[in-house]
Structure 1
Amino acid sequence: MRQSLILGSILAAASSVLAAPMAQSAPYTNGTLDQSVAVLLDGKVDVKFSVIRNRISTGAENRSPVSTVEIKVGADALKQDIRCQVLDAAGIPIAATRTPNFDISFSDSKKGIWTFDPPAMIDVILCDPNLVGKGSDVNVTLGGNGGDSLNTLVNVVKSTSQTPVASGPFNTFLLNVGVNSNPALRCQIHDVHGMPIFGTRGENRVHTTFSDAKKGIWNLENGDVEVGEIICDPSFVADNRAL
């Protein structure tokens, strides 16, 4: 987390140096090689990077939520499989889906757009030859009033517990399980006092463990709640009580 924040600051500072000599509307060229990488947010070119010493990096801010990101690598770019990330204001990578893939770094591969669900506020865009696809990550999104959200990744082997970088308050919970992870995985969230938070989804009864099942958002009981811990565990099973 701290490392991500420091990196974001460095990238933001570097952007003013890298971006100044070139217009975003024209790719950087080295001889006859087009080494540009364009990042499109909601179908619009937000930034265009140029390869500098085999590394592409800059910072960018977007003040409204975006639903999609697309990476377009120049035809003669030296690294066709380069990947990019988008970070939130806390320096946390934001996950997106391009069926059947779910990841925190995005490639071109001539396969089109990646989709954020829910739409994401993006603070930093980073493209780096060292990024690799993860694929098996589990993503938890907590949503609040006014569009506030927390997007965090959970790498689950056995039971995994982590403290969110922000406590909220939140009123929705969304779990996205990568295609290489156990689709039956369930997660639980605790309030700041360590008590499980209840939630409902559609006609489901009130639960304290939440699944993906490709059925969308869970609404947290009692409205806005402060979240102190997220726990994802392959041994969790559905538990419910009457409404």
Structure 2
Amino acid sequence: MHYTTFLLPLLTATLSFTAAAQDTTVQVILSDSAAELGSQTRFIEDFRQTKKPTGSTGPFQTVALRLGEGVKNKALRCKILDSRNNPIVVTRGENVDTTFADGGEAKEWVLRDGRQKVKTIICDPAFVKAAAPVAESGEALDLDIRVTLSDGNLATQTAFRAARLERERQNPVGSSGPYNSVTLSVGKDVKNQGLRCQVLDLQGDVIEVARGENEDVTFADGGKGAWAFLEPVSSEVGSIVCDPGFAVA
């Protein structure tokens, strides 16, 4: 009886440890505490998965990734996309990113631009933490990325939030034109000063542009002003795409 009494707590502790070690739950939790709205969506750690939020698409204000004790890849990261399939920028403390991790912290990630509907959640072992620029003491980071379309009189500016980190597509703000020139302005603290964008017409075809002797299907800032539409010389614009993967033709 004495040995049985001694072994029971040990056996219980062993079983509890084993259960924790076998907990391979990967869960993305979206919430808006003010509206008492939430969604919990489960994933598998070993490969890329894309899912819609379980139960509701929001709008949500925070997101968290929770990994079970048995999940081997503790650095697993996920991201959420808005209704236009653009990555939603999230923050936690000083971290600003389009992907988020567990990190063993109870604190949630906050959607930087306020409450938003979430169309898609993606978890992928290939996702990595973004290399964020550091501001000098007392200064705000200039991370502004804007594309200005103009016809000489009418002009519209479209802001990009995630383009410094990954591909982002936006529709022109206000009007589709027609326009005959485009300008990309990249803030001085954006790490990728060579970021390039392109404009597409209403049919989704790329509009060729020119600046000086440079002719291309993508355009950069370079501090040299506007690019003129080349082919066609004037066109309505259906969408603008900025992508760190774009390169000079």
TM interval, short-chain normalised: 0.3 to 0.5
Larger radius of gyration: 2
